[in-house]
Structures are given as C-alpha cells and as structure tokens.
Amino acid sequence: MGMGYIATISFGTNTTNTDLNTLVENLERKKYERLDSSASPLNILQSSRENTATAMMLRKSDHRRIEDSPDEAGTALEREVSDGLAEETARSKDELQPMMSETGAEAVDNAEAEIEARARSKDKSQPMMSKSTGAEAVDFAEAETRFIETQKLLATQSIPTATNPIVMKTASLPDSKRKKILVTGGAGFVGSHLVDTLMMEGHEVIALDNFFTGQRKNVDHWMNHPRFSLVVHDVTEPIMLEVDEIYHLACPASPPHYQYNPVKTIKTSTMGTINMLGLAKRVKAKILLTSTSEIYGDPEVHPQPESYWGNVNTSKCSAKLCFHPFTIQPNLNWFQMCTLVGPRSCYDEGKRVAETMMYSYKSQNNVDVRVARIFNTFGPRMHPNDGRVVSNFIIQSLQNKPMTIYGDGSQTRSFQFVSDLVNGLHSLMNGKYDLPVNLGNPDEYTVKHFAEYIKEITQSDSEISFFAGNERRPYTTQTGYFNGETRVEMGAEGDSEGRSSANDSLF
C-alpha cells in the first residue's frame, strides 16, 4: 500500500502522476540525447543503477511518510529524491566518462574516416565527371555550329540528287526586289526547270502540282531550301495565296497523257485557268499562260507567225483535218475524225479557250497577262514515255529497236532545248509585251536526219523503218494510225506541239 501511495505523489508543478522511473529516464535521455541510442550511457545507467537508486529512494520515502504528515513527507521526499538524483548522476558521470570519451573518439574517427573516404571518392570521380561534362558541352557546341552552318548552306544552294546532281547557287536579294512567284505544274518537265531559274535568281518560289504528270524528284533538290515551297494541289480547285507573279503551266502536254483523261485535260485548261486568273485579279499579280502551237490547227503557212490566224474550221470537217467518211474504215464516222471532236481536241480547244479567257480578264478586269505558244521542246527530266518524237527515238535507239518514221522522212521539225524555252518564258514575263508570242526554234530539220543523228550519238544498232504515210495530217489515237483505208499500228512516234510542216506524220 505504501508503494502505491508513493507512486502517485505530485512533485511540484513539473511532474504529475509520474513515477520515479519515468522521471529518471527522462532526465537521462535529455542529458545524453546527442549520443547514439544503441551505445547511449542512458541504457547502461538504466541497466546498472536504475533499480538500486529507485529502491533506496522508495525506502527512504516510506520511512519519512510514517514520521511526517503527508504534506511534509511530500516536500521532504522531493528534496531527498533531488539530492539522490544529483548524487547518482555525478557518480554515473564519473563512471561513464571513459566510456563516453571512448565512444565519442570512435564516432569522431568513424566520421573522419567517412569524410576522408568521400573526399577520395570525389577526387577520383571529379576528373571523370569534368571530362564527361566538358566533352558533352564541346559536342553540343560543335553540333550547334554545324547546324547553323548547314542552314546557311541550304539557304544558298540546292542539294545534289540523282535527278539533278548539279549544285545550283541561289542569289541573295533584298526584300524590296525579291518576288513571291507561283509556278503551277512546277514539278513537271518545263515547270521544274523554270523553278530552277527563279530560285537561282533569289526569289521565293511556290511550286503547285497534283503529280498527274509531274514528279516530286524533279524538285527534290530544292526541298530543304527556306525559300522554296511545294504545294500538292489541283488547279481545277480554287486556292488562296499571296503572290506577285503566276506562271500557269499546269496541263498535260503529251498525247498519251492528255488523251488518258480528256475531260480532266479540258477542265485543267478551262477551270484551272479561271482559278488562276481569279487569283491574279485578287492579288493584282501578273500571270503568264503557256499555250501551244496546236491552236494554229493544220497550218498552211510555215513557219507560223503570231499574226497567222491558223487553219481551223469550226463549222464542219476540213479536208485538211480529216478524211471523207467513205474512204475510212466503216466503223468510224466523220465526227470522230474532226479536229473539234477528235482525240486531240481536249487539248487544242482547251488552250484556245484559255487564251480567250486571258485576254477577256485583261480587257474587263485589267489583269496583266502574258501568253506563250510553245513549240517542240526536249531536255532533261522529260518523261521517257510521253509519246513525243525526241523521247521515242531515244528510247528506241537505246533498246536497239527499229526507229519508225511515217512517210519518207522528208517532213521537217524544229526542236528547242528546255533551257531556251525557260529563258523565253522568263523574258516574256518580265517584258512589257502582252500579246501572244511563239517560243520555238526557227531552224528546221528533217525527221530522217534527226533519227540518224540520234542513232549516231547513241551508237545504236537500230534500223530506221519507214511506213506508208499521207501528205495530209494523219489521224492518231492511242491505238493506231489511220491513213486513208489503210490502218498501220502507231510506232513510237508522237509529238504534241509545234508541227512546222504540212507533211506531219509524227505525233
């Protein structure tokens, strides 16, 4: 009972319902709290002295409780406990000092050893880290420098490709002189060469093409240039752009291509031209149309000047343009032979309408227009199977196949190189003359001479084969060549533009 009474004694205002063991434990924990718990002197004190000190104080307290009153006993007991604790703490301190010193020294040694080990590890890794960080910084700086140099280089030239291995340098123009130029059909045979010329002058060029006959590889060497843009679009659909000049070249020009989809061909010549004229009207741009020598029909004047009205009969079949229905095969009627409804009419009549629209916009809306009538042209990037006489003769000679000529080969042709045509288009656009202009080569050569020349330069074993021809302009389709009552399979001859002789048997 005495033990239970003492356990609930209150010691002033600092401790309430706390036994002596808890008090001693709290005091010692505060005194040695900076030491590690696993080697703390408090644990040692609790294991060696705790029971003895507690028993001694409890015995003294019990004896004084009997002699004194409860209040006096509490006060005396508090003094005794404080004295006992002070005495015990002093003894414990003296006894534990060597152990604490030894433990502290070990801790210091361990700490110093750990610091030294970390320092050594840091010293070893520092050169590697510095070397790695420095190398990365150098690599990044070099990559940045190379990137800037590459961008500057791309802004001054084209990239060599398989189609165009020649590097083309581009000029640097001030903003006041640099034009934004749209080239429809810019990925085609003539269009891609025109893009080259405009890019080398330093202008900003937009090539628009739907790739019906054009090819992306024709402009691949400009794809990374900052002033070149390729837009995949069909001119039969309107487009909103801001440009200064428009070169309207979009339209298939070789017989196999424009006869493949005649409706599309005439829509390109009519609707496409209307859309480009509308764009030119809106942004007040100058526009150039590439027309064709086909608009002269079956000419009776050679060579044809721009003032020549042509030989086209719009009311009925002309003896020069088709054959009498009783002299051809019975399954063909005279309407099929007429120029206006024949297989070439989608191209010929479409170009005539396009020219008419150009000058209608000029007179009504004051649009600045140019019209170029193109004759036979050849050169790099020409499609090998476009049905024209140049490419056909070359393909036949390279394959050692017979080089076919209809007639005796005395009919004459004129051919211009594509670079000459591009120079003509560029001069016409930048000049002040706004009436139609023929662009071709005034020098004519016989077809036979031309075939012999190609055979010589290609060192071919091909033979030149002559087929019966007709003095009049023959009728040509995708499947055959018709001459009077005789049907002869069409060879590789074909040309879409620029017949400069009435004895025209090549298409």
The per-residue pLDDT for 60 is 52
How far is residue 367 from each of residues 274, 360, 370, measured CA to CA in Å? 12, 9, 10
Residue 27, pLDDT > 70, answer: no
pLDDT band of residue 233 (cuts 50, 70, 90) is very high
Q: What single-letter DSSP state applies at residue 342?
A: S
Which residues have a Cβ under 8 Å from the Cβ of 62 and sit 6 or more positions away? Answer: 2, 3, 6
Residue in 303, 295, 244 with CA at minimum distance from that of residue 269: 295
Residue 217, pLDDT > 80, answer: yes
pLDDT band of residue 197 (cuts 50, 70, 90) is very high
Percentage of the chain lying above the pLDDT 90 cut: 38
Amino acid 115 reads I
The per-residue pLDDT for 207 is 98
Residue 381 near residue 196, CB atoms below 8 Å = no
The per-residue pLDDT for 397 is 92
Q: pLDDT (tens digit, 9 = 90+) per residue, 81-110? A: 566 656 655 665 565 555 555 555 566 567
CA dihedral 290, 295, 301, 307 (to 10 degrees): -70
Residue in 239, 237, 188, 183 with CA at minimum distance from that of residue 208: 183
The per-residue pLDDT for 423 is 97
The per-residue pLDDT for 475 is 32
Between CA 277 and CA 371 the distance in angstroms is 13
Q: pLDDT (tens digit, 9 = 90+) per residue, 353-384? A: 999 999 999 999 999 999 999 998 999 998 88
Q: What is the mean pLDDT of residues 11-24?
A: 50
pLDDT band of residue 182 (cuts 50, 70, 90) is very high
In the block, which residue shows the tokens 């319902």?
17
- In three-state secondary structure terms, 482 is strand
The per-residue pLDDT for 490 is 30
Tokens linked to 190: 């003539």
**What's the mean pLDDT when you consider all of the chain?**
74
Among the ranges given (190-199, 261-270, 453-462), the one the predictor scored with the smallest mean pLDDT? 261-270
Length of the chain: 507
Highest mean pLDDT among 220-224, 380-384, 408-412: 220-224
- In three-state secondary structure terms, 266 is helix
In the chain the domains, ranked by start, together with CATH numbers, are 2-127 (no CATH), 234-381+416-442 (3.40.50.720)
Angle at 287 between CA 436 and CA 425, to 5 degrees: 55
Among the ranges given (129-143, 353-367, 456-470, 491-505), the one the predictor scored with the smallest mean pLDDT? 491-505
Task: Considering only residues 292 and 122, tell me which one the structure prediction assigns the higher pLDDT.
Answer: 292
Residue 172, pLDDT > 60, answer: yes
Q: What is the mean pLDDT of residues 11-29?
A: 53
Residue 413 near residue 500, CB atoms below 8 Å = yes
Q: Is 456 exposed, middle or buried (0-12, 13-18, 19+ CB in 10 A)?
A: exposed
Residue 245, pLDDT > 70, answer: yes
Highest mean pLDDT among 383-387, 428-432, 499-503: 428-432
Amino acid 123 reads D
Highest mean pLDDT among 79-83, 380-384, 423-427, 469-473: 423-427
Q: Is 304 exposed, middle or buried (0-12, 13-18, 19+ CB in 10 A)?
A: buried
pLDDT band of residue 387 (cuts 50, 70, 90) is confident
Q: What single-letter DSSP state applies at residue 311?
A: B
The per-residue pLDDT for 89 is 59
Between CA 81 and CA 53 the distance in angstroms is 9
Beta sheet of 180-184, edge-to-edge order: 228-232, 204-209, 180-184, 245-248, 286-292, 369-374, 437-439
Task: Considering only residues 50 and 107, tell me which one the structure prediction assigns the higher pLDDT.
Answer: 107
Give the DSSP letter string of 71-120: HHHHHHHHHHHHHHHHHHHHHHHHHHHHHHHHHHHHHHHHHHHHHHHHHH
Residue 479, pLDDT > 60, answer: no
- What long-range pairs does 18-22 form, CB within 8 A, spacing at least 24? 20/54, 20/57, 20/58, 20/81, 21/50, 21/54
Give the residues across from 287 on adjacent strands.
246, 369
The per-residue pLDDT for 127 is 59
In the block, which residue shows the tokens 């003895």?
52
Q: What is the mean pLDDT of residues 179-208?
A: 97
The per-residue pLDDT for 347 is 79
Among the ranges given (168-177, 379-388, 396-405), the one the predictor scored with the smallest mean pLDDT? 379-388
Q: Is the peptide bond before 303 cis (omega within 30 degrees of 0)?
A: yes
Annotation marks residue 347 as catalytic: yes
The per-residue pLDDT for 341 is 63
Residue in 155, 214, 224 with CA at minimum distance from that of residue 188: 214
Tell me, rounded to whole angstroms, the distance of Cα 444 from its chain centroid.
45
Sign, CA dihedral 82-85-87-90, equals negative
Q: pLDDT (tens digit, 9 = 90+) per residue, 274-321? A: 999 999 999 999 999 999 988 888 788 878 888 888 877 554 443 343
Residue 32, pLDDT > 80, answer: no
Considering the candidates 32, 296, 347, 475, report the single residue annotated as catalytic: 347
